[in-house]
Structure 1
């Protein structure tokens, strides 16, 4: 009788785990449908965006260029100076003249590893199992008065993101990324709104609150988006 009870308990636990995983996948599927569909996103090879924001009273322009699996580059212009950050699968560079840098400096191995998700322009949840990521549904959590689905994404690299998805629209409204910066683990929070559909049929947030560091963020407005525009390989090489 005891062994029978244990068998029933094992079956019940297995059923609960399967239901839990299926529920997480249902949220992922609805999210992907809401942002234009997985098949549309799988056609995306490059994304170029131009955004504007103010940081401590200064106007900042950010042009982000990313090519699937090849490279990610951010060109940042402020106070008449332009710097950049580049990440590729094997290396990266940073040149920030407004922070006193006089030449491009190589990224550390840790920075390259943690920046790997920037090379996935289609998004981590598109074919996430094939990419080696895992997800967990952690119930719901309040975000500005809305009980949002809470998804934990553990990347192949070990990086962890938490997505908060609106149950009415299934759009991503907030994310929290755990990253190691200068040997210290930090949580960086981003917020997303004003989604617009591109001619390619995918949804992009045109308003993004971006983290700049501990306790510091800025509201960026996306002014321009280009999908699948050819990008030269030299884009992902340091220019000084």
Structure 2
């Protein structure tokens, strides 16, 4: 009888774990459908976004250029100074004269390893299992009055991001991820709003609350998004 009870318990636990797995997949799939569907997102090979944000009275022009699994570059014009961050699967560079840098600095091997998974322009949730990521359902949590579904995505490279998805629209409202700042691990929060559908059939947030440090965020307003525009290879090389 004891063995029978243990067998039932094992089956129940297995059923519970399978249920959570199915719930995570169902929510992820509904989210992907809400932003245009997997087929449309798998056609996205490059994304160029132009936007502006203001921080402590300073206006910052931002251009983010990404090519699927090839490279990403963020250009920031701050008080007339050109700054940039470049990431590729094998190397990365940072040039921030606004922070006193006088030369381009290479990223560490660990930073490059963690950043490699983020070169995915099609979204980490699309075919996440095939990409080597894992997904877990964590229940619900309030986000400014909305009881959002929580999905924990662990990327192949080890980075963990928690997504907060609106149960009505299945749009992503917020994400949190741990990031090292000045040698300390901090939880950074990004907010997403004002979704708009693009001609390619996908929807993207046009307002993003960008984390700049512990407890510090700035709203970036996207003015233009270009999908699948040709991007020169030298875009992902530091200036000589």
Normalised TM-score (structure 2)? 0.98
The RMSD of aligned alpha carbons is 0.9
| Aligned ranges 1:154-173 → 2 under 5 Å | 154-173=154-173
Q: Give the structure 2 partner of residue 236 of structure 1.
A: 236
Distance across 2 between alignment mates of 1:236 and 1:9: 54
Distance across 2 between alignment mates of 1:194 and 1:73: 24
Deviation at 1:182, TM superposition (A): 4.1
| Aligned ranges 1:169-180 → 2 under 5 Å | 169-180=169-180
Distance across 2 between alignment mates of 1:180 and 1:152: 19
| Aligned ranges 1:34-53 → 2 under 5 Å | 34-53=34-53
Q: Give the structure 1 partner of residue 223 of structure 2.
A: 223
| Aligned ranges 1:190-201 → 2 under 5 Å | 190-201=190-201
Distance across 2 between alignment mates of 1:213 and 1:239: 27
Deviation at 1:180, TM superposition (A): 2.7
Is 1:184 matched up with 2:180?
no
SS in 1 for 2:14: helix
Distance across 2 between alignment mates of 1:132 and 1:180: 23
Is 1:107 matched up with 2:107?
yes
| Aligned ranges 1:37-186 → 2 under 5 Å | 37-186=37-186
Give the conservation status (yes or no) of the 8 Å contact 1:50–1:64: yes
Distance across 1 between alignment mates of 2:108 and 2:21: 36
Give the conservation status (yes or no) of the 8 Å contact 1:114–1:179: no
The number of residues matched between the two structures is 240
Question: In the TM superposition, what whole-angstrom CA distance separates every residue of 1:48-84 from its partner, at most 9, and x where no partner exists?
Answer: 0001011111110110000001000000001111110
Give the conservation status (yes or no) of the 8 Å contact 2:181–2:213: no
SS in 2 for 1:125: coil
Normalised TM-score (structure 1)? 0.98
Extract unaligned runs of 5+ from structure 1.
Answer: none
Which stretch has the larger CA shift, 186-195 or 104-113? 104-113
4+ long deviations beyond 6 Å: none
Extract unaligned runs of 5+ from structure 2.
Answer: none
Is 1:210 matched up with 2:210?
yes
Give the conservation status (yes or no) of the 8 Å contact 2:161–2:176: yes
Which stretch has the larger CA shift, 157-166 or 116-125? 116-125
